[in-house]
């Protein structure tokens, strides 16, 4: 079960800013412990990873995201997807 809280008080504001720059709302769907990052999905099904170095695009949908994970594809910065 995912804990719906965030690691740092500033995470909520930073995720709101990321959503604004992406032009779409984000929803927290998980947490990964090695990087202490928050996994996010937007209403279009795109996955993002947010941690202290910023946001990263993980994939266009769940299949793309999982495929990239299995192949070890580096996640581009989320700012490549800003509107």
Whole-number Å distance between alpha carbons of 34 and 43: 26
Domain annotation covers residue 43 = yes
**Which letter, b or e, does each residue of 63-77 get, where b requires 16 or more Cβ atoms within 10 Å of its Cβ?**
ebbeebeeeeeebee
Domain annotation covers residue 46 = yes
Tens of pLDDT, residues 25-71: 999 998 888 878 899 999 999 999 998 888 999 999 999 999 999 99
Domain annotation covers residue 1 = no
Number of domains in the chain: 1
Domain annotation covers residue 67 = yes
Torsion of CA 41, 46, 49, 27, to 10 degrees: -10
Domain annotation covers residue 52 = yes
Domain annotation covers residue 2 = no
Tens of pLDDT, residues 13-24: 889 999 999 999
Identify the band that residue 1 occupies on the pLDDT scale cut at 50, 70 and 90.
Answer: very low
pLDDT: is 5 or 14 the higher one? 14
The range of the structural domain enclosing residue 36 comes to 9-81
Q: What is the pLDDT of residue 31?
A: 87
């Amino acid at each position: 079960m995912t804990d719906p809280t965030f690691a740092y008080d500033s995470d909520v504001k930073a995720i709101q800013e990321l959503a604004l720059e992406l032009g779409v709302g984000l929803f927290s769907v998980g947490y990964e412990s090695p990087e202490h990052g928050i996994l996010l999905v937007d209403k279009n099904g795109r996955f993002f990873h947010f941690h202290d170095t910023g946001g990263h695009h993980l994939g266009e949908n769940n299949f793309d995201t999982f495929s990239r994970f299995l192949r070890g594809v580096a996640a581009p910065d989320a700012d490549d997807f800003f509107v």
